[in-house]
Amino acid sequence: MIQTERALQQVLEWGRSLTGFADEHAVEAVRGGQYILQRIHPSLRDTSARTGRDPQDETLIVAFYRELALLFWLDDCNDLGLIAPEQLAAVEQALGQGVPCALPGFEGCAVLRASLAALAYDRRDYAQLLDDTRCYCAALRAGHAQAAGAERWSYAEYLHNGIDSIAYANVFCCLSLLWGLDMATLRARPAFRRVLRLISAIGRLQNDLHGLDKDRSAGEADNAAILLLQRYPAMPVVEFLNDELAGHTRMLHRVMAEERFPAPWGPLIEAMAAIRAQYYQTSTSRYRSDAAGGGQRAPA
Protein backbone atom coordinates (compact mmCIF):
# COMPACT_ATOMS: atom_id res chain seq x y z
CA MET A 1 0.00 0.00 0.00
CA ILE A 2 1.16 3.55 -0.67
CA GLN A 3 3.31 5.05 2.09
CA THR A 4 1.40 7.25 4.54
CA GLU A 5 3.48 10.39 4.02
CA ARG A 6 3.33 10.11 0.23
CA ALA A 7 -0.44 9.67 0.30
CA LEU A 8 -0.83 12.54 2.76
CA GLN A 9 1.14 14.90 0.54
CA GLN A 10 -1.03 14.05 -2.46
CA VAL A 11 -4.21 14.73 -0.51
CA LEU A 12 -2.81 17.98 0.86
CA GLU A 13 -1.72 19.10 -2.59
CA TRP A 14 -5.24 18.53 -3.91
CA GLY A 15 -6.81 20.18 -0.85
CA ARG A 16 -4.92 23.43 -1.38
CA SER A 17 -7.40 24.23 -4.14
CA LEU A 18 -10.28 24.25 -1.63
CA THR A 19 -10.81 27.39 0.44
CA GLY A 20 -10.73 26.54 4.14
CA PHE A 21 -9.15 23.11 3.67
CA ALA A 22 -6.94 22.21 6.66
CA ASP A 23 -4.14 19.74 7.20
CA GLU A 24 -6.38 17.91 9.68
CA HIS A 25 -8.86 17.05 6.92
CA ALA A 26 -6.13 15.25 5.02
CA VAL A 27 -4.55 13.63 8.07
CA GLU A 28 -7.81 12.12 9.31
CA ALA A 29 -8.82 11.05 5.80
CA VAL A 30 -5.59 9.14 5.29
CA ARG A 31 -5.73 7.64 8.78
CA GLY A 32 -9.36 6.57 8.43
CA GLY A 33 -8.92 5.40 4.86
CA GLN A 34 -5.93 3.28 5.83
CA TYR A 35 -7.92 1.67 8.62
CA ILE A 36 -10.72 0.69 6.24
CA LEU A 37 -8.46 -0.51 3.42
CA GLN A 38 -6.29 -2.55 5.75
CA ARG A 39 -9.33 -4.31 7.17
CA ILE A 40 -10.67 -5.27 3.74
CA HIS A 41 -7.36 -5.77 1.90
CA PRO A 42 -7.51 -9.61 1.81
CA SER A 43 -11.02 -9.47 0.35
CA LEU A 44 -10.06 -6.82 -2.20
CA ARG A 45 -7.16 -9.00 -3.25
CA ASP A 46 -9.60 -11.87 -3.86
CA THR A 47 -12.03 -9.72 -5.87
CA SER A 48 -9.24 -8.28 -8.02
CA ALA A 49 -9.29 -11.44 -10.13
CA ARG A 50 -12.79 -10.46 -11.24
CA THR A 51 -12.39 -6.71 -11.42
CA GLY A 52 -8.76 -6.24 -12.36
CA ARG A 53 -8.60 -3.53 -9.69
CA ASP A 54 -5.42 -3.81 -7.63
CA PRO A 55 -6.04 -3.12 -3.91
CA GLN A 56 -2.61 -1.46 -3.81
CA ASP A 57 -3.19 0.81 -6.81
CA GLU A 58 -1.93 4.23 -5.72
CA THR A 59 -4.30 6.18 -7.95
CA LEU A 60 -7.35 4.41 -6.51
CA ILE A 61 -6.16 4.74 -2.92
CA VAL A 62 -5.44 8.46 -3.19
CA ALA A 63 -8.81 9.08 -4.85
CA PHE A 64 -10.49 7.33 -1.90
CA TYR A 65 -8.53 9.38 0.63
CA ARG A 66 -9.44 12.60 -1.19
CA GLU A 67 -13.14 11.76 -1.09
CA LEU A 68 -12.89 11.15 2.66
CA ALA A 69 -11.05 14.46 3.09
CA LEU A 70 -13.82 16.16 1.11
CA LEU A 71 -16.42 14.80 3.53
CA PHE A 72 -14.50 16.14 6.53
CA TRP A 73 -14.09 19.52 4.86
CA LEU A 74 -17.79 19.75 3.99
CA ASP A 75 -18.72 18.91 7.56
CA ASP A 76 -16.54 21.71 8.89
CA CYS A 77 -17.81 24.14 6.25
CA ASN A 78 -21.23 23.64 7.84
CA ASP A 79 -20.23 23.49 11.50
CA LEU A 80 -17.36 25.94 11.62
CA GLY A 81 -18.32 28.36 8.84
CA LEU A 82 -15.08 27.85 6.93
CA ILE A 83 -16.64 29.45 3.86
CA ALA A 84 -19.50 31.86 3.25
CA PRO A 85 -23.04 30.45 2.87
CA GLU A 86 -23.21 31.42 -0.80
CA GLN A 87 -19.90 29.65 -1.41
CA LEU A 88 -21.11 26.53 0.37
CA ALA A 89 -24.30 26.51 -1.71
CA ALA A 90 -22.25 26.71 -4.92
CA VAL A 91 -19.92 23.94 -3.74
CA GLU A 92 -22.82 21.65 -2.84
CA GLN A 93 -24.45 22.19 -6.21
CA ALA A 94 -21.21 21.48 -8.05
CA LEU A 95 -20.44 18.31 -6.09
CA GLY A 96 -23.99 17.01 -6.33
CA GLN A 97 -24.15 17.56 -10.07
CA GLY A 98 -20.56 16.65 -10.93
CA VAL A 99 -19.86 20.02 -12.55
CA PRO A 100 -17.26 22.76 -11.90
CA CYS A 101 -18.03 25.16 -9.07
CA ALA A 102 -19.45 28.49 -10.25
CA LEU A 103 -17.26 30.38 -7.77
CA PRO A 104 -13.43 30.54 -7.63
CA GLY A 105 -11.46 28.89 -4.83
CA PHE A 106 -12.95 25.41 -5.13
CA GLU A 107 -11.26 23.89 -8.17
CA GLY A 108 -10.55 20.70 -6.24
CA CYS A 109 -14.24 19.79 -6.36
CA ALA A 110 -14.25 19.43 -10.14
CA VAL A 111 -10.85 17.73 -10.12
CA LEU A 112 -12.04 15.03 -7.72
CA ARG A 113 -15.38 14.48 -9.44
CA ALA A 114 -13.71 14.19 -12.87
CA SER A 115 -11.19 11.75 -11.42
CA LEU A 116 -13.87 9.54 -9.88
CA ALA A 117 -15.97 9.64 -13.04
CA ALA A 118 -12.97 8.43 -15.06
CA LEU A 119 -12.05 5.75 -12.50
CA ALA A 120 -15.54 4.34 -12.01
CA TYR A 121 -15.64 0.58 -12.52
CA ASP A 122 -19.43 0.83 -12.78
CA ARG A 123 -20.94 4.13 -13.95
CA ARG A 124 -23.96 3.47 -11.76
CA ASP A 125 -21.76 3.98 -8.72
CA TYR A 126 -20.72 7.42 -9.93
CA ALA A 127 -24.35 8.47 -10.40
CA GLN A 128 -25.14 7.11 -6.95
CA LEU A 129 -22.18 8.94 -5.42
CA LEU A 130 -23.56 12.23 -6.71
CA ASP A 131 -26.93 11.38 -5.16
CA ASP A 132 -25.31 10.34 -1.86
CA THR A 133 -23.39 13.62 -1.84
CA ARG A 134 -26.62 15.58 -2.25
CA CYS A 135 -28.15 13.62 0.64
CA TYR A 136 -25.08 14.21 2.81
CA CYS A 137 -25.04 17.94 2.16
CA ALA A 138 -28.78 18.21 2.81
CA ALA A 139 -28.41 16.31 6.10
CA LEU A 140 -25.55 18.55 7.23
CA ARG A 141 -27.62 21.65 6.47
CA ALA A 142 -30.66 20.27 8.26
CA GLY A 143 -28.70 19.25 11.33
CA HIS A 144 -26.99 22.61 11.58
CA ALA A 145 -30.28 24.47 11.15
CA GLN A 146 -32.16 22.50 13.81
CA ALA A 147 -29.31 22.82 16.31
CA ALA A 148 -29.36 26.59 15.87
CA GLY A 149 -33.14 26.95 15.87
CA ALA A 150 -35.69 27.23 18.64
CA GLU A 151 -37.57 24.05 17.75
CA ARG A 152 -35.69 20.83 18.48
CA TRP A 153 -36.10 17.55 16.64
CA SER A 154 -37.36 14.43 18.30
CA TYR A 155 -34.82 11.65 18.79
CA ALA A 156 -36.39 9.75 15.85
CA GLU A 157 -36.02 12.76 13.55
CA TYR A 158 -32.44 13.31 14.66
CA LEU A 159 -31.42 9.70 14.05
CA HIS A 160 -33.17 9.66 10.67
CA ASN A 161 -31.12 12.67 9.58
CA GLY A 162 -27.99 11.29 11.23
CA ILE A 163 -28.06 8.21 9.02
CA ASP A 164 -27.28 10.50 6.09
CA SER A 165 -25.00 12.94 7.91
CA ILE A 166 -22.62 10.18 9.07
CA ALA A 167 -21.78 9.69 5.36
CA TYR A 168 -21.21 5.92 5.46
CA ALA A 169 -23.20 5.53 2.24
CA ASN A 170 -20.73 7.91 0.57
CA VAL A 171 -17.76 5.93 1.88
CA PHE A 172 -19.17 2.61 0.71
CA CYS A 173 -20.18 3.96 -2.69
CA CYS A 174 -16.73 5.42 -3.29
CA LEU A 175 -15.11 2.08 -2.40
CA SER A 176 -17.48 0.29 -4.77
CA LEU A 177 -16.80 2.80 -7.55
CA LEU A 178 -13.03 2.37 -7.25
CA TRP A 179 -12.75 -1.37 -6.64
CA GLY A 180 -15.84 -2.77 -8.35
CA LEU A 181 -17.81 -3.93 -5.30
CA ASP A 182 -21.15 -4.07 -7.16
CA MET A 183 -22.97 -1.85 -4.71
CA ALA A 184 -25.41 -0.67 -7.37
CA THR A 185 -26.70 -4.21 -7.77
CA LEU A 186 -26.69 -4.93 -4.04
CA ARG A 187 -28.81 -1.86 -3.31
CA ALA A 188 -31.71 -3.63 -5.00
CA ARG A 189 -31.76 -6.16 -2.16
CA PRO A 190 -33.92 -5.11 0.82
CA ALA A 191 -31.55 -6.84 3.25
CA PHE A 192 -28.59 -4.84 1.96
CA ARG A 193 -30.50 -1.57 2.28
CA ARG A 194 -31.36 -2.56 5.84
CA VAL A 195 -27.69 -3.22 6.57
CA LEU A 196 -26.80 0.24 5.23
CA ARG A 197 -29.33 1.90 7.51
CA LEU A 198 -28.29 -0.13 10.54
CA ILE A 199 -24.55 0.42 10.16
CA SER A 200 -25.17 4.13 9.52
CA ALA A 201 -27.31 4.41 12.66
CA ILE A 202 -24.59 2.59 14.59
CA GLY A 203 -22.03 5.02 13.23
CA ARG A 204 -24.11 8.04 14.21
CA LEU A 205 -24.62 6.75 17.77
CA GLN A 206 -20.94 5.86 18.16
CA ASN A 207 -19.91 9.27 16.88
CA ASP A 208 -22.25 11.13 19.23
CA LEU A 209 -21.33 9.08 22.29
CA HIS A 210 -17.62 9.48 21.61
CA GLY A 211 -17.91 13.21 21.01
CA LEU A 212 -20.35 14.02 23.82
CA ASP A 213 -17.90 15.69 26.23
CA LYS A 214 -16.28 17.75 23.49
CA ASP A 215 -19.64 18.75 21.99
CA ARG A 216 -20.96 19.76 25.39
CA SER A 217 -17.89 21.85 26.22
CA ALA A 218 -18.06 23.52 22.79
CA GLY A 219 -21.75 24.36 23.18
CA GLU A 220 -22.75 22.10 20.28
CA ALA A 221 -26.38 20.95 20.16
CA ASP A 222 -26.15 18.62 17.16
CA ASN A 223 -25.65 15.46 19.23
CA ALA A 224 -28.24 12.83 20.20
CA ALA A 225 -27.28 12.86 23.88
CA ILE A 226 -27.42 16.66 24.15
CA LEU A 227 -30.73 16.78 22.29
CA LEU A 228 -32.23 14.22 24.68
CA LEU A 229 -30.89 16.04 27.75
CA GLN A 230 -32.47 19.26 26.56
CA ARG A 231 -35.83 17.51 26.35
CA TYR A 232 -35.48 15.24 29.37
CA PRO A 233 -32.90 16.68 31.83
CA ALA A 234 -33.17 13.75 34.27
CA MET A 235 -32.82 11.07 31.60
CA PRO A 236 -29.83 8.69 31.79
CA VAL A 237 -29.00 9.47 28.18
CA VAL A 238 -25.65 7.69 27.93
CA GLU A 239 -27.15 4.45 29.20
CA PHE A 240 -30.10 4.86 26.84
CA LEU A 241 -27.90 5.51 23.81
CA ASN A 242 -25.61 2.60 24.68
CA ASP A 243 -28.70 0.38 24.81
CA GLU A 244 -29.79 1.76 21.44
CA LEU A 245 -26.33 1.08 20.04
CA ALA A 246 -26.37 -2.48 21.37
CA GLY A 247 -29.81 -3.09 19.88
CA HIS A 248 -28.86 -1.78 16.45
CA THR A 249 -25.70 -3.89 16.58
CA ARG A 250 -27.68 -7.05 17.40
CA MET A 251 -30.08 -6.36 14.53
CA LEU A 252 -27.13 -5.82 12.19
CA HIS A 253 -25.53 -9.10 13.22
CA ARG A 254 -28.80 -10.95 12.64
CA VAL A 255 -29.15 -9.61 9.11
CA MET A 256 -25.49 -10.34 8.32
CA ALA A 257 -25.92 -13.90 9.64
CA GLU A 258 -29.06 -14.50 7.58
CA GLU A 259 -27.78 -12.97 4.35
CA ARG A 260 -24.62 -13.66 2.41
CA PHE A 261 -23.08 -10.64 0.75
CA PRO A 262 -20.08 -10.93 -1.57
CA ALA A 263 -16.60 -9.96 -0.49
CA PRO A 264 -15.54 -7.58 0.91
CA TRP A 265 -18.86 -6.48 2.40
CA GLY A 266 -18.68 -8.67 5.51
CA PRO A 267 -15.26 -7.42 6.63
CA LEU A 268 -16.16 -3.87 5.56
CA ILE A 269 -19.31 -3.76 7.69
CA GLU A 270 -17.39 -5.29 10.61
CA ALA A 271 -14.68 -2.66 10.23
CA MET A 272 -17.21 0.17 10.32
CA ALA A 273 -18.97 -1.34 13.34
CA ALA A 274 -15.64 -1.35 15.20
CA ILE A 275 -14.66 2.17 14.20
CA ARG A 276 -15.19 3.76 17.60
CA ALA A 277 -12.54 1.64 19.30
CA GLN A 278 -10.23 1.26 16.32
CA TYR A 279 -10.40 4.80 14.88
CA TYR A 280 -12.12 7.41 17.06
CA GLN A 281 -10.38 6.43 20.27
CA THR A 282 -6.93 6.43 18.66
CA SER A 283 -7.26 9.91 17.14
CA THR A 284 -4.72 12.53 18.15
CA SER A 285 -6.62 15.44 16.66
CA ARG A 286 -10.14 15.52 15.24
CA TYR A 287 -11.69 12.83 17.40
CA ARG A 288 -9.84 13.51 20.63
CA SER A 289 -12.42 13.74 23.39
CA ASP A 290 -10.28 15.71 25.86
CA ALA A 291 -9.68 19.43 25.99
CA ALA A 292 -6.25 19.08 24.40
CA GLY A 293 -7.95 17.99 21.21
CA GLY A 294 -9.38 21.44 20.70
CA GLY A 295 -12.89 22.78 20.74
CA GLN A 296 -14.06 21.15 17.54
CA ARG A 297 -16.73 18.50 17.80
CA ALA A 298 -16.29 14.99 16.51
CA PRO A 299 -18.00 15.45 13.15
CA ALA A 300 -19.87 13.15 10.86
DSSP 290: S
> Does the structure show a pLDDT above 50 at 298?
no
> Does the structure show a pLDDT above 80 at 282?
no
| Beta carbons within 8 Å of 54's beta carbon, 6+ residues apart | 48, 60
Distance between CA atoms of residues 234 and 229, nearest Å = 7
DSSP assignments along 193-249, one per residue: HHHHHHHHHHHHHHHHHHTHHHHHHHT---SHHHHHHHH-TTS-HHHHHHHHHHHHH
Distance between CA atoms of residues 275 and 280, nearest Å = 6
Instruction: Tell which residue, 148, 154, 183, has the closest CA to residue 168.
Output: 183
Is the Cα dihedral 174, 178, 181, 186 positive or negative?
positive
Q: What is the pLDDT of residues 40-52, one digit of tens each?
A: 999 999 999 999 9
Phi, psi of 98, rounded to the nearest 5 degrees: 70, 35
> Does the structure show a pLDDT above 50 at 293?
no
> Residue 148: what pLDDT?
78
Percentage of the chain lying above the pLDDT 70 cut? 94
**Number of CB atoms found within 10 A of residue 203's CB:** 23
Distance between CA atoms of residues 212 and 14, nearest Å = 32
Q: What is the pLDDT of residues 156-201, one digit of tens each?
A: 999 999 999 999 999 999 999 999 999 999 999 999 999 999 999 9
Is the Cα dihedral 164, 39, 26, 11 positive or negative?
negative
pLDDT band at 297 (very low <50, low <70, confident <90, very high): very low
Please tell me whether the peptide bond between 236 and the residue prior to it is cis, using omega within 30 degrees of 0: no
| CA contacts within 13 A on the Cβ side of 166 | 27
Bridge partners of 106? 18
Start-to-end Cα distance in the chain: 26
Average pLDDT taken over every residue of the chain? 93
> Residue 221: what pLDDT?
86
Structural domains in the chain, CATH included, are 2-278 (1.10.600.10)
Distance between CA atoms of residues 124 and 84, nearest Å = 32
- Global confidence as pTM: 0.93
- Name the 3-class secondary structure at 263: coil
Distance between CA atoms of residues 14 and 195, nearest Å = 33
